[in-house]
Amino acid sequence: MSGRYLTVLCVLLAGMTVPLGCKSQVITVTVPSGPETGHPYSVLSYTSSATSPSGDSVAIRFDWGDGDTSAWSGWLPSGGAASDSHSWSVADTFLVRAQAKDADGHSSDWSNPLGVAIAATWTKTFGGTADDEGFAVVQAADHGYVVAGHTYSYGTGAGDIYVIKTDAGGSQVWSNTFGSDGYDAGYAVAATSDGYVIAGTSYNDGMGASNASLIKVDSSGNRVWGRSYGFLGADVAFAVQPTSDGGYILAGQTGFFSSGGSDVYLVKTDAEGNQLWYKNLGGPHNDVGRSVHQTGDGGYIILGETDTIGSGLSDMYLIKTDASGNQVWARTFGGGGHNHGYSVQIASDGGYILAGQTEGGAGGGDVYLVKTDASGNQVWAKTYGGSQTDGAHSIQRTADGGYIIAGMTASFGAGMFDVYLLKIDANGDTVWTRTYGGASSDVGDAVQVTSDGGYIVSGMTSSYGAGGNDVWLIKTDAQGEVKP
Protein backbone atom coordinates (compact mmCIF):
# COMPACT_ATOMS: atom_id res chain seq x y z
CA MET A 1 0.00 0.00 0.00
CA SER A 2 1.48 3.40 -0.93
CA GLY A 3 2.36 5.98 1.72
CA ARG A 4 -0.41 8.33 0.45
CA TYR A 5 -3.24 5.78 0.84
CA LEU A 6 -1.84 4.55 4.15
CA THR A 7 -1.95 8.09 5.53
CA VAL A 8 -5.62 8.51 4.52
CA LEU A 9 -6.48 5.16 6.05
CA CYS A 10 -4.69 6.10 9.29
CA VAL A 11 -6.75 9.29 9.55
CA LEU A 12 -10.06 7.42 8.95
CA LEU A 13 -9.22 4.81 11.53
CA ALA A 14 -7.73 7.23 14.08
CA GLY A 15 -10.37 6.33 16.66
CA MET A 16 -9.86 2.56 16.32
CA THR A 17 -7.67 0.65 18.71
CA VAL A 18 -5.90 -1.25 15.90
CA PRO A 19 -3.62 1.11 13.91
CA LEU A 20 -3.51 -1.31 10.91
CA GLY A 21 0.17 -0.64 10.33
CA CYS A 22 0.01 3.15 10.75
CA LYS A 23 3.19 3.09 12.84
CA SER A 24 5.05 2.03 9.72
CA GLN A 25 4.77 5.69 8.59
CA VAL A 26 7.28 6.81 11.24
CA ILE A 27 10.42 8.11 9.54
CA THR A 28 13.60 7.23 11.42
CA VAL A 29 16.63 9.54 11.52
CA THR A 30 19.97 8.76 13.12
CA VAL A 31 21.82 10.75 15.74
CA PRO A 32 24.27 13.06 13.90
CA SER A 33 27.83 11.80 13.72
CA GLY A 34 30.86 14.08 13.66
CA PRO A 35 33.38 15.82 15.93
CA GLU A 36 32.36 16.10 19.57
CA THR A 37 34.88 18.87 20.34
CA GLY A 38 35.97 21.99 18.52
CA HIS A 39 36.97 25.61 18.83
CA PRO A 40 35.10 28.84 18.11
CA TYR A 41 34.87 29.58 14.38
CA SER A 42 36.21 26.14 13.40
CA VAL A 43 33.99 24.66 10.68
CA LEU A 44 32.82 21.16 11.70
CA SER A 45 30.91 18.67 9.54
CA TYR A 46 28.10 16.32 10.65
CA THR A 47 26.23 13.46 8.97
CA SER A 48 22.86 11.80 9.55
CA SER A 49 20.82 9.25 7.61
CA ALA A 50 17.04 8.74 7.39
CA THR A 51 14.73 5.92 6.37
CA SER A 52 11.15 6.12 5.14
CA PRO A 53 9.29 2.83 5.67
CA SER A 54 7.29 3.46 2.48
CA GLY A 55 10.52 3.81 0.50
CA ASP A 56 9.86 7.47 -0.33
CA SER A 57 12.74 9.88 -0.90
CA VAL A 58 13.93 11.72 2.21
CA ALA A 59 15.55 15.07 3.05
CA ILE A 60 17.50 15.94 6.22
CA ARG A 61 18.24 19.11 8.15
CA PHE A 62 20.23 19.88 11.31
CA ASP A 63 19.49 21.92 14.42
CA TRP A 64 22.85 23.28 15.60
CA GLY A 65 21.75 24.04 19.16
CA ASP A 66 22.53 27.76 18.94
CA GLY A 67 19.25 28.92 17.46
CA ASP A 68 20.37 28.19 13.90
CA THR A 69 18.91 25.43 11.74
CA SER A 70 20.34 24.31 8.41
CA ALA A 71 18.40 24.24 5.16
CA TRP A 72 16.91 20.93 4.07
CA SER A 73 19.25 18.74 2.10
CA GLY A 74 18.44 17.65 -1.41
CA TRP A 75 16.23 14.58 -1.87
CA LEU A 76 17.93 11.30 -0.99
CA PRO A 77 16.88 7.69 -1.43
CA SER A 78 15.42 6.13 1.70
CA GLY A 79 18.34 5.16 3.93
CA GLY A 80 20.56 7.85 2.41
CA ALA A 81 22.82 10.17 4.38
CA ALA A 82 23.26 13.94 4.27
CA SER A 83 26.09 16.08 5.60
CA ASP A 84 26.30 19.74 6.55
CA SER A 85 28.80 22.02 8.30
CA HIS A 86 28.57 24.65 10.99
CA SER A 87 30.76 26.83 13.19
CA TRP A 88 30.03 28.29 16.62
CA SER A 89 31.29 31.70 17.71
CA VAL A 90 31.28 31.14 21.47
CA ALA A 91 32.51 28.50 23.86
CA ASP A 92 29.76 26.22 25.18
CA THR A 93 28.30 22.74 24.75
CA PHE A 94 25.79 22.54 21.92
CA LEU A 95 23.25 19.78 21.18
CA VAL A 96 23.21 18.91 17.47
CA ARG A 97 20.08 17.11 16.24
CA ALA A 98 18.75 15.93 12.89
CA GLN A 99 15.25 15.81 11.43
CA ALA A 100 13.96 14.14 8.26
CA LYS A 101 10.96 14.45 5.96
CA ASP A 102 9.75 12.36 3.04
CA ALA A 103 8.34 13.27 -0.32
CA ASP A 104 4.78 12.88 0.99
CA GLY A 105 5.35 15.64 3.57
CA HIS A 106 5.74 13.46 6.64
CA SER A 107 8.38 14.68 9.14
CA SER A 108 10.22 12.75 11.79
CA ASP A 109 10.75 13.88 15.33
CA TRP A 110 14.13 15.46 16.05
CA SER A 111 16.77 12.81 16.69
CA ASN A 112 18.52 12.28 19.98
CA PRO A 113 21.26 14.92 20.28
CA LEU A 114 25.01 14.75 19.81
CA GLY A 115 26.79 16.96 22.36
CA VAL A 116 29.50 19.14 20.86
CA ALA A 117 31.81 20.94 23.30
CA ILE A 118 33.27 24.13 21.83
CA ALA A 119 36.30 25.15 23.85
CA ALA A 120 37.91 28.57 23.38
CA THR A 121 41.17 27.73 25.15
CA TRP A 122 44.30 25.79 24.23
CA THR A 123 48.08 25.95 24.09
CA LYS A 124 50.27 25.02 21.11
CA THR A 125 54.00 24.86 20.46
CA PHE A 126 55.77 25.28 17.12
CA GLY A 127 59.38 24.75 16.15
CA GLY A 128 62.14 22.20 15.98
CA THR A 129 65.05 21.04 18.08
CA ALA A 130 66.88 24.40 18.04
CA ASP A 131 65.69 27.73 19.42
CA ASP A 132 62.50 29.38 18.11
CA GLU A 133 60.35 32.23 19.47
CA GLY A 134 57.14 34.07 18.57
CA PHE A 135 57.60 37.80 19.17
CA ALA A 136 54.25 39.00 17.81
CA VAL A 137 50.76 37.70 17.04
CA VAL A 138 47.66 39.00 15.26
CA GLN A 139 44.23 37.46 14.74
CA ALA A 140 43.36 36.73 11.12
CA ALA A 141 40.07 37.46 9.35
CA ASP A 142 39.17 33.75 9.52
CA HIS A 143 39.65 33.89 13.33
CA GLY A 144 42.93 31.99 13.16
CA TYR A 145 46.25 33.55 14.16
CA VAL A 146 49.48 34.68 12.52
CA VAL A 147 52.69 34.61 14.56
CA ALA A 148 55.96 36.31 13.62
CA GLY A 149 59.28 35.51 15.23
CA HIS A 150 62.56 33.83 14.54
CA THR A 151 63.80 30.28 14.08
CA TYR A 152 67.10 28.46 14.27
CA SER A 153 65.38 25.13 13.58
CA TYR A 154 64.38 25.87 9.98
CA GLY A 155 65.62 27.96 7.08
CA THR A 156 69.32 28.75 6.78
CA GLY A 157 70.02 27.85 10.40
CA ALA A 158 71.65 31.23 11.07
CA GLY A 159 68.41 32.65 12.45
CA ASP A 160 65.54 33.32 10.08
CA ILE A 161 62.25 35.21 10.16
CA TYR A 162 59.58 32.65 11.09
CA VAL A 163 55.91 33.16 10.20
CA ILE A 164 53.18 30.71 11.25
CA LYS A 165 49.47 30.72 10.38
CA THR A 166 47.05 28.69 12.50
CA ASP A 167 43.34 28.03 12.38
CA ALA A 168 41.01 29.13 15.18
CA GLY A 169 41.94 26.04 17.20
CA GLY A 170 45.69 26.65 16.97
CA SER A 171 46.45 23.95 14.39
CA GLN A 172 49.11 25.02 11.91
CA VAL A 173 47.78 25.94 8.46
CA TRP A 174 51.13 27.00 6.99
CA SER A 175 54.53 28.32 7.98
CA ASN A 176 57.35 30.01 6.13
CA THR A 177 60.86 31.29 6.75
CA PHE A 178 62.70 34.25 5.26
CA GLY A 179 66.35 35.01 5.71
CA SER A 180 69.94 35.18 4.61
CA ASP A 181 73.21 33.67 5.79
CA GLY A 182 73.16 36.07 8.74
CA TYR A 183 70.70 36.69 11.54
CA ASP A 184 67.13 37.62 10.57
CA ALA A 185 64.09 37.97 12.83
CA GLY A 186 60.49 39.15 12.69
CA TYR A 187 59.57 41.30 15.68
CA ALA A 188 56.14 42.60 14.62
CA VAL A 189 53.23 41.58 12.40
CA ALA A 190 50.17 43.43 11.10
CA ALA A 191 47.24 42.26 9.00
CA THR A 192 46.52 43.87 5.63
CA SER A 193 43.49 43.55 3.35
CA ASP A 194 45.16 40.74 1.40
CA GLY A 195 47.83 39.29 3.67
CA TYR A 196 50.31 40.38 6.34
CA VAL A 197 53.40 42.51 6.83
CA ILE A 198 56.28 41.43 9.07
CA ALA A 199 58.80 43.94 10.43
CA GLY A 200 62.19 43.03 11.85
CA THR A 201 65.81 42.86 10.89
CA SER A 202 67.65 41.22 8.00
CA TYR A 203 71.34 40.71 7.40
CA ASN A 204 72.61 42.51 4.29
CA ASP A 205 75.33 40.33 2.79
CA GLY A 206 76.47 43.04 0.39
CA MET A 207 76.94 45.69 3.06
CA GLY A 208 77.99 43.47 5.92
CA ALA A 209 75.38 45.02 8.19
CA SER A 210 71.85 44.40 9.37
CA ASN A 211 68.96 46.50 8.08
CA ALA A 212 65.47 47.12 9.32
CA SER A 213 63.15 45.06 7.13
CA LEU A 214 59.53 44.83 6.05
CA ILE A 215 58.17 41.76 4.26
CA LYS A 216 54.72 41.49 2.70
CA VAL A 217 53.19 38.01 2.40
CA ASP A 218 49.89 36.94 0.91
CA SER A 219 47.19 35.07 2.81
CA SER A 220 49.02 31.78 2.14
CA GLY A 221 52.35 33.03 3.47
CA ASN A 222 54.02 33.53 0.09
CA ARG A 223 56.38 36.47 -0.20
CA VAL A 224 54.93 39.37 -2.23
CA TRP A 225 57.77 41.83 -1.66
CA GLY A 226 60.51 42.67 0.80
CA ARG A 227 62.15 45.98 1.67
CA SER A 228 65.13 46.97 3.79
CA TYR A 229 65.88 50.28 5.48
CA GLY A 230 69.12 51.57 6.95
CA PHE A 231 72.72 52.08 6.05
CA LEU A 232 75.96 50.64 7.41
CA GLY A 233 75.02 50.27 11.05
CA ALA A 234 72.92 47.80 12.97
CA ASP A 235 69.34 48.79 12.14
CA VAL A 236 66.16 47.03 13.26
CA ALA A 237 62.39 47.54 13.21
CA PHE A 238 60.68 46.39 16.39
CA ALA A 239 57.18 47.63 15.50
CA VAL A 240 54.95 48.17 12.47
CA GLN A 241 51.46 49.59 12.11
CA PRO A 242 49.30 50.36 9.05
CA THR A 243 48.71 54.10 8.54
CA SER A 244 45.61 55.95 7.38
CA ASP A 245 47.05 56.53 3.89
CA GLY A 246 47.44 52.79 3.26
CA GLY A 247 51.15 52.72 4.05
CA TYR A 248 53.09 51.70 7.14
CA ILE A 249 55.01 53.24 10.02
CA LEU A 250 57.99 51.36 11.51
CA ALA A 251 59.81 52.08 14.76
CA GLY A 252 63.10 50.63 15.91
CA GLN A 253 66.74 51.48 16.33
CA THR A 254 69.56 52.72 14.09
CA GLY A 255 73.26 53.22 14.61
CA PHE A 256 73.89 55.15 11.39
CA PHE A 257 73.87 58.95 11.29
CA SER A 258 72.79 58.89 14.91
CA SER A 259 73.79 61.58 17.33
CA GLY A 260 75.20 58.98 19.67
CA GLY A 261 75.47 55.22 20.13
CA SER A 262 72.04 54.59 18.61
CA ASP A 263 68.85 56.48 17.92
CA VAL A 264 65.13 55.79 17.75
CA TYR A 265 64.50 54.96 14.07
CA LEU A 266 61.18 55.98 12.51
CA VAL A 267 60.42 54.97 8.91
CA LYS A 268 57.32 55.87 6.90
CA THR A 269 56.51 53.82 3.79
CA ASP A 270 53.86 53.69 1.11
CA ALA A 271 51.58 50.70 0.54
CA GLU A 272 54.35 48.85 -1.33
CA GLY A 273 56.88 49.37 1.44
CA ASN A 274 58.84 52.06 -0.40
CA GLN A 275 60.44 54.49 2.03
CA LEU A 276 58.86 57.95 2.02
CA TRP A 277 60.96 59.38 4.84
CA TYR A 278 62.90 58.39 7.94
CA LYS A 279 63.81 60.14 11.17
CA ASN A 280 66.49 59.59 13.80
CA LEU A 281 65.24 60.67 17.21
CA GLY A 282 67.26 60.79 20.42
CA GLY A 283 70.30 62.20 22.15
CA PRO A 284 74.02 61.57 22.44
CA HIS A 285 73.85 58.04 23.84
CA ASN A 286 71.69 54.94 23.26
CA ASP A 287 68.01 55.23 22.42
CA VAL A 288 65.54 52.73 20.94
CA GLY A 289 61.90 52.66 19.86
CA ARG A 290 59.92 49.49 20.47
CA SER A 291 56.27 50.41 19.88
CA VAL A 292 54.48 52.90 17.61
CA HIS A 293 50.93 54.03 16.77
CA GLN A 294 49.44 56.69 14.56
CA THR A 295 47.60 59.32 16.58
CA GLY A 296 44.35 61.08 15.78
CA ASP A 297 46.14 64.17 14.45
CA GLY A 298 48.07 62.09 11.89
CA GLY A 299 51.27 62.08 13.90
CA TYR A 300 52.88 59.22 15.81
CA ILE A 301 53.48 58.12 19.40
CA ILE A 302 56.61 56.04 20.04
CA LEU A 303 57.69 54.24 23.20
CA GLY A 304 61.14 52.89 23.93
CA GLU A 305 63.97 53.73 26.25
CA THR A 306 66.82 56.18 26.57
CA ASP A 307 69.96 56.61 28.62
CA THR A 308 70.25 60.16 27.37
CA ILE A 309 67.74 62.38 29.11
CA GLY A 310 66.25 60.66 32.14
CA SER A 311 67.71 59.83 35.53
CA GLY A 312 69.60 56.61 36.25
CA LEU A 313 70.94 54.18 33.72
CA SER A 314 67.95 54.18 31.37
CA ASP A 315 64.41 55.50 31.35
CA MET A 316 61.19 54.85 29.51
CA TYR A 317 61.15 57.19 26.52
CA LEU A 318 57.88 58.49 25.05
CA ILE A 319 58.06 60.61 21.88
CA LYS A 320 55.24 62.40 20.07
CA THR A 321 55.84 63.46 16.46
CA ASP A 322 53.87 65.25 13.81
CA ALA A 323 52.73 63.59 10.58
CA SER A 324 56.19 64.10 9.04
CA GLY A 325 58.01 62.45 11.95
CA ASN A 326 59.29 65.68 13.50
CA GLN A 327 59.44 65.56 17.28
CA VAL A 328 56.70 67.56 19.04
CA TRP A 329 57.63 66.55 22.57
CA ALA A 330 59.42 63.82 24.50
CA ARG A 331 58.95 62.51 28.03
CA THR A 332 60.94 60.14 30.21
CA PHE A 333 59.73 57.97 33.09
CA GLY A 334 61.69 56.08 35.69
CA GLY A 335 63.96 56.90 38.55
CA GLY A 336 67.06 54.94 39.30
CA GLY A 337 68.23 51.71 37.76
CA HIS A 338 67.10 50.48 34.37
CA ASN A 339 63.61 51.30 33.11
CA HIS A 340 62.47 49.82 29.82
CA GLY A 341 59.51 50.71 27.60
CA TYR A 342 58.13 47.93 25.40
CA SER A 343 54.53 48.71 24.47
CA VAL A 344 52.29 51.78 24.19
CA GLN A 345 48.57 52.08 23.49
CA ILE A 346 46.32 55.08 23.02
CA ALA A 347 43.92 55.24 25.96
CA SER A 348 40.20 55.89 25.62
CA ASP A 349 40.64 59.41 27.05
CA GLY A 350 43.22 60.35 24.40
CA GLY A 351 46.17 59.83 26.70
CA TYR A 352 48.62 56.94 26.62
CA ILE A 353 49.30 53.76 28.59
CA LEU A 354 52.91 52.57 28.71
CA ALA A 355 54.13 49.10 29.69
CA GLY A 356 57.60 47.86 30.45
CA GLN A 357 59.94 47.01 33.29
CA THR A 358 61.53 48.90 36.17
CA GLU A 359 64.21 48.11 38.72
CA GLY A 360 62.51 50.52 41.11
CA GLY A 361 59.82 48.09 42.31
CA ALA A 362 59.64 45.23 44.76
CA GLY A 363 62.11 42.85 43.08
CA GLY A 364 65.01 42.63 40.65
CA GLY A 365 62.59 44.00 38.06
CA ASP A 366 58.87 44.68 38.12
CA VAL A 367 56.11 45.22 35.62
CA TYR A 368 56.00 48.98 35.14
CA LEU A 369 52.90 50.82 33.85
CA VAL A 370 52.59 54.55 33.31
CA LYS A 371 49.37 56.36 32.38
CA THR A 372 49.77 59.81 30.80
CA ASP A 373 47.49 62.49 29.47
CA ALA A 374 47.44 63.49 25.79
CA SER A 375 50.51 65.71 26.32
CA GLY A 376 52.54 62.91 27.87
CA ASN A 377 52.28 64.16 31.44
CA GLN A 378 52.14 61.35 34.00
CA VAL A 379 48.73 60.68 35.53
CA TRP A 380 49.77 57.62 37.49
CA ALA A 381 52.50 54.99 37.59
CA LYS A 382 52.30 51.53 39.12
CA THR A 383 54.45 48.46 39.55
CA TYR A 384 53.35 44.83 39.73
CA GLY A 385 55.28 41.73 40.71
CA GLY A 386 57.05 40.00 43.53
CA SER A 387 60.48 39.63 45.03
CA GLN A 388 62.11 38.30 41.86
CA THR A 389 62.36 39.60 38.28
CA ASP A 390 59.11 40.40 36.47
CA GLY A 391 58.35 42.50 33.39
CA ALA A 392 55.74 43.48 30.80
CA HIS A 393 56.31 43.16 27.07
CA SER A 394 52.87 43.96 25.61
CA ILE A 395 49.70 45.83 26.58
CA GLN A 396 46.27 46.10 24.90
CA ARG A 397 43.05 47.89 25.73
CA THR A 398 40.07 45.73 26.67
CA ALA A 399 36.38 46.30 25.98
CA ASP A 400 35.66 47.25 29.62
CA GLY A 401 38.08 50.18 29.52
CA GLY A 402 40.88 48.31 31.27
CA TYR A 403 44.00 46.64 29.94
CA ILE A 404 45.56 43.21 29.44
CA ILE A 405 49.33 42.87 29.89
CA ALA A 406 51.63 40.00 28.92
CA GLY A 407 55.19 39.44 30.05
CA MET A 408 57.21 37.17 32.26
CA THR A 409 57.61 36.46 35.97
CA ALA A 410 60.18 34.76 38.17
CA SER A 411 58.26 35.71 41.33
CA PHE A 412 55.26 33.47 40.66
CA GLY A 413 54.45 30.28 38.76
CA ALA A 414 56.13 26.93 38.29
CA GLY A 415 59.56 27.53 36.81
CA MET A 416 62.54 29.81 36.33
CA PHE A 417 60.36 32.23 34.37
CA ASP A 418 56.69 31.84 33.54
CA VAL A 419 54.42 33.67 31.14
CA TYR A 420 52.71 36.41 33.14
CA LEU A 421 49.24 37.71 32.19
CA LEU A 422 47.67 40.58 34.13
CA LYS A 423 44.22 42.14 33.79
CA ILE A 424 43.84 45.63 35.25
CA ASP A 425 41.04 48.19 35.29
CA ALA A 426 41.23 51.72 33.87
CA ASN A 427 42.83 52.99 37.09
CA GLY A 428 45.57 50.37 37.08
CA ASP A 429 44.08 48.25 39.86
CA THR A 430 44.63 44.53 39.45
CA VAL A 431 41.57 42.49 38.44
CA TRP A 432 43.38 39.15 38.14
CA THR A 433 46.76 37.62 37.30
CA ARG A 434 47.66 34.33 35.63
CA THR A 435 50.87 32.40 35.05
CA TYR A 436 51.57 29.69 32.48
CA GLY A 437 54.61 27.48 32.21
CA GLY A 438 56.61 24.53 33.42
CA ALA A 439 59.87 23.82 35.15
CA SER A 440 62.06 25.78 32.71
CA SER A 441 61.82 29.31 31.32
CA ASP A 442 58.69 30.54 29.52
CA VAL A 443 58.06 34.10 28.33
CA GLY A 444 55.10 36.04 26.96
CA ASP A 445 56.13 38.49 24.22
CA ALA A 446 52.79 39.71 22.86
CA VAL A 447 49.08 39.68 23.70
CA GLN A 448 45.97 40.52 21.68
CA VAL A 449 42.28 40.58 22.55
CA THR A 450 40.45 37.97 20.46
CA SER A 451 37.07 38.14 18.75
CA ASP A 452 35.47 35.84 21.36
CA GLY A 453 36.50 38.11 24.24
CA GLY A 454 39.49 36.02 25.29
CA TYR A 455 43.20 36.57 24.73
CA ILE A 456 45.96 35.16 22.55
CA VAL A 457 49.54 35.25 23.85
CA SER A 458 52.66 34.47 21.82
CA GLY A 459 56.10 33.91 23.18
CA MET A 460 58.61 31.24 24.02
CA THR A 461 58.69 28.03 26.02
CA SER A 462 61.60 25.86 27.02
CA SER A 463 59.36 23.74 29.26
CA TYR A 464 57.40 22.16 26.39
CA GLY A 465 57.74 21.46 22.69
CA ALA A 466 60.30 19.82 20.44
CA GLY A 467 63.48 21.02 22.08
CA GLY A 468 65.47 24.14 22.88
CA ASN A 469 63.08 27.08 22.93
CA ASP A 470 59.84 26.74 20.97
CA VAL A 471 57.25 29.23 19.83
CA TRP A 472 54.41 29.09 22.36
CA LEU A 473 50.87 30.19 21.56
CA ILE A 474 48.35 30.37 24.43
CA LYS A 475 44.64 30.96 23.88
CA THR A 476 42.70 31.88 27.03
CA ASP A 477 39.12 32.76 27.83
CA ALA A 478 38.03 36.18 29.09
CA GLN A 479 39.27 35.33 32.59
CA GLY A 480 42.69 34.20 31.42
CA GLU A 481 41.86 30.56 32.06
CA VAL A 482 43.08 27.70 29.87
CA LYS A 483 40.62 24.85 30.32
CA PRO A 484 40.88 21.33 28.91
Q: What is the pLDDT of residue 313?
A: 82
How far is residue 110 from each of residues 75, 107, 261, measured CA to CA in Å? 18, 9, 73
Q: Percent of the chain having pLDDT more than 90? A: 79
Query: 415-440 b/e with 16+ CB inside 10 Å = b?
Result: bbbbbbbbbbebebeeeebbbbbeee
Dump pLDDT digits (tens) for 95-129. 999 999 998 889 999 999 999 989 889 999 999 99
Q: What is the mean pLDDT of residues 21-26?
A: 54
Secondary structure percentages of the chain, helix, strand, coil, to 5: 5, 55, 45
What pLDDT sits at residue 207? 59
What's the rounded mean pLDDT across residues 332-350? 93
What's the chain's average pLDDT? 91
Among 144-153, 327-336, 387-396, name the one with the lowest average pLDDT: 327-336
Mean pLDDT of 326-341: 92
State how far the Cα of 388 lies from the Cα of 276, in Å rounded to an integer.
Answer: 45
- The arrangement of secondary structure in 122-476, i.e. its CATH architecture, is 7 Propeller (2.130)
User: What does the pLDDT read at residue 13?
Assistant: 39
- Given a contact cutoff of 8 angstroms between Cβ atoms, the answer to whether 167 and 144 are in contact is yes
Count the neighbouring beta carbons within 10 Å of the beta carbon of residue 119. Answer: 18
The answer, yes or no, to whether residue 21 has pLDDT greater than 50, is no
Strands 287-294 and 300-306: antiparallel
Output the CA–CA distances (angstroms, integers) from residue 401 to 451, 456, 471, in the order listed.
16, 18, 30
- pTM attached to this predicted model: 0.85
* C-alpha torsion 203→209→210→214, nearest 10: -80
318 pLDDT exceeds 80? yes
Average pLDDT over residues 254-265: 78
What end-to-end distance do the CA atoms of the chain give, in Å?
Answer: 54
Q: Where residue 307 falls among pLDDT bands split at 50, 70, 90?
A: confident
User: By the 8 A CB rule, do 111 and 31 touch?
Assistant: yes
- For residue 209, what pLDDT is reported? 77
How many whole angstroms separate alpha carbon 197 and alpha carbon 174?
16
**Three-class HEC string of 409-429:** ECCCCCCCEEEEEEEECCCCC
Q: Higher confidence at residue 158 or residue 435? A: 435
Residue-level pLDDT at 408? 98
For the chain, the domains span: 3-118, 122-476
Residue 362 Rama label (left phi>0; alpha psi -120 to 50; beta): alpha
Q: What is the pLDDT of residue 10?
A: 44
Q: CA-CA distance, 335 to 313, in Å (whole number)?
A: 9
The number of CA neighbours under 13 Å toward the Cβ of 168 is: 22
How far apart CA 25 and CA 14 sit, in angstroms, is 14
Indicate the class that CATH gives domain 3-118: mainly beta
pLDDT category, 208, cuts 50, 70, 90?
low
